[in-house]
Structure 1
Amino acid sequence: MQSPANDSDATVLFDPTYTESDVSFNQLLDSLVEKGWYVWPNAIETEVCQALLEEAQEHQQEGKLQRAGIGRGDEHQLNNDIRRDKIKWLDGKTPTQQAYLAKMADLQFRLNRELFLGLFEYECHYALYQPGDFYKKHYDSFRDQANRIVTTVLYLNPEWSPGKGGELVIYANEEDTKPILVSPYFGTLAVFMSEEILHEVLPTQQSRFSISGWFRLNNMQGSQVDPPSQLLTY
């Protein structure tokens, strides 16, 4: 199936003027259970998002963003036909990252409490898509491998221009002809089930910053508690 070519082929979320003062956490829970995804506008405070954006831009200026690959461990490879973004993993060493990771820790606790998901840890990276960059259709985790369970994507683009591409496309299934398009507006958080939701990032015509993250289970191997997160290089 081809990627959506225009707005007539997809449902678009959200208008940049859209605001909601109190997004209920229950809406997130209900949507994850019923549809496998949820898009939360204005989910993270402006001050936190701005600090994250400035840190990501600093990494870009210092040349610390590296080409992203596909696969994990020994199967990791670079493939410009599949994805072309650049990334840098968060290590939690700066106050800015700590503020964001604290919010994700709270989300992890609440998801575990309400949905009994058994989420064990969270990993995330900055992502930069420059003009022409994209990421073709994929799942974030192979089904039944209990690897990545819930995906989050926080968008850090305060002056995003509609019609410039770069949308996240969420498909209900591989035959879906009316997918959801999520524009990467500042402070919007997309949350979806990693094994269930097929998705892609459309080619962008302008630079686009985000933080992609994954809540994971504890995959114990013998006496080792969970393989190192850095092996996961999707």
Structure 2
Amino acid sequence: MSIDFPLSRDPYVENSIPAFTRIEPFSQLLIDLQTQGWSIQDDFFSEGFTQALMDEVENIQNDYMQQAGIGRKQDHQVVLGARRDYIQWIDPDKAIKIDYLKMMESFRVALNRRLFLGLFDYEAHFARYEEGAFYEKHIDAFKGQSNRILSMVLYLNEDWKEDDGGELIIYDEHNPEIELGRFPPIKGRLAIFLSECFYHEVNVAKRTRHSIAGWYRVNNTTGKTLDPDQ
């Protein structure tokens, strides 16, 4: 039985590039998340869709990106000893970005239907690691203290070589000293994992490295507190 949310036959109104080549693009991700809490998928999007996203991030001038920091809102601070990437948040102001966010919304629906996660929305940014940049070992959400439930990274790098560095390292959920794997940021590779469960880091990049980092969130708004955005 299919476990995907059925996409319409031609949903790519804005950009006209089919996002997927697989009939059920979310199936293996959903299985992996249900059984182990993380997944690595190569060639997740179609070649043309991935290339359009790659073109978009490569054309962003450094002046239009900001130094990434740690924490949110009043707790946000730039700590160069912890991370050195630059980011630009993804807003629906261009066709390819509209389509990317549209596909992530379809995946949100599939996640809620299959795994009952109660995900409310998705936020994402382009990330650029210049030569020498890294992100030290960290976790995206501490249990009970964040609205981020799932972390996702899509890699947008052509001809990435083994000695180019910049690997994503994911650590064991129960023992964060044990590596589950090291994954080079090759073009079209998608990584997803439970934000509260898996420590991870980015090794030092030896050439410019691009990606999209995103998070699925629940809504923690209460009568006294408004759920924070970016």
1:213 paired residue number: 214
Counterpart Cα distance in 2 of 1:140 and 1:117 = 17
CA gap 1:24/1:73 in 2 versus in 1, 3 angstroms:
closer
Q: CA deviation at 1:56?
A: 1.2
- Cα shift at 1:144: 1.6
**Alignment of structure 1 residues 1-234 onto 2, 5 Å:** 25-60=26-61, 63-173=63-173, 174-222=175-223, 227-230=227-230
Residues 24, 106 of structure 1: CA spacing in aligned structure 2 closer, same or farther, 3 A cutoff?
Answer: closer
Partner of 1:11: none
Deviation at 1:51, TM superposition (A): 1.5
TM-score relative to the length of structure 2:
0.85
Give the conservation status (yes or no) of the 8 Å contact 2:126–2:211: yes
CA distance in 2, matches of 1:23, 1:191: 17
Aligned residues: 209
Could you say if the C-alpha distance between residues 176 and 58 of structure 1 is closer, same or farther in structure 2, counting changes exceeding 3 Å? same
Report the secondary structure of 2:205's partner residue: coil
> Distance between the aligned counterparts of 1:207 and 1:105, measured in 2?
29
Q: Which has the higher contact order (CA 8 A, sep 6+)?
A: 1
Work out whether residues 176 and 198 of structure 2, in 8 Å CA contact, stay in contact via their aligned partners in 1. Answer: no
Percent sequence identity is 42
Greater CA drift, 32-41 or 22-31: 22-31
Rounded to whole Å, the distance in 2 between the matches of 1:178 and 1:102 is: 33
Q: Greater CA deviation, 82-91 or 72-81?
A: 72-81
- Residue 146 of structure 1 and its aligned partner are, at CA, apart by 4.6
Alpha-carbon distance in structure 2 between the residues aligned to 1:160 and 1:55: 18
Matched to 2:122, the amino acid is Y
1:158-184 C-alpha deviation (Å, 9 max, x unpaired): 221122110100001444334311111
What CA distance in whole angstroms lies between the structure 2 residues aligned with 1:171 and 1:82?
A: 17
- In the superposition, the TM-score normalised over structure 1's length comes to 0.83
Q: Could you tell me which runs of 5 or more consecutive residues in structure 1 were left unpaired when the two chains were aligned.
A: 1-19
Deviates more, 1:175-184 or 1:108-117: 175-184
Structure 2: distance between partners of 1:146 and 1:89: 19
| Deviation at residue 24 of structure 1 after TM alignment | 6.5
Residue 23 and residue 109 in structure 1: after superposition, are their counterparts in 2 closer, same or farther (change >3 A)? Answer: closer
| CA RMSD of superposed structures (Å) | 1.9
Amino acid in structure 1 at the alignment position of 2:77: Q
Gaps of 5+ in 2: 1-20
The alpha-carbon deviation at position 125 of structure 1 amounts to 0.2
Letter in 2 for 1:148: R
1:77 deviates by 0.6
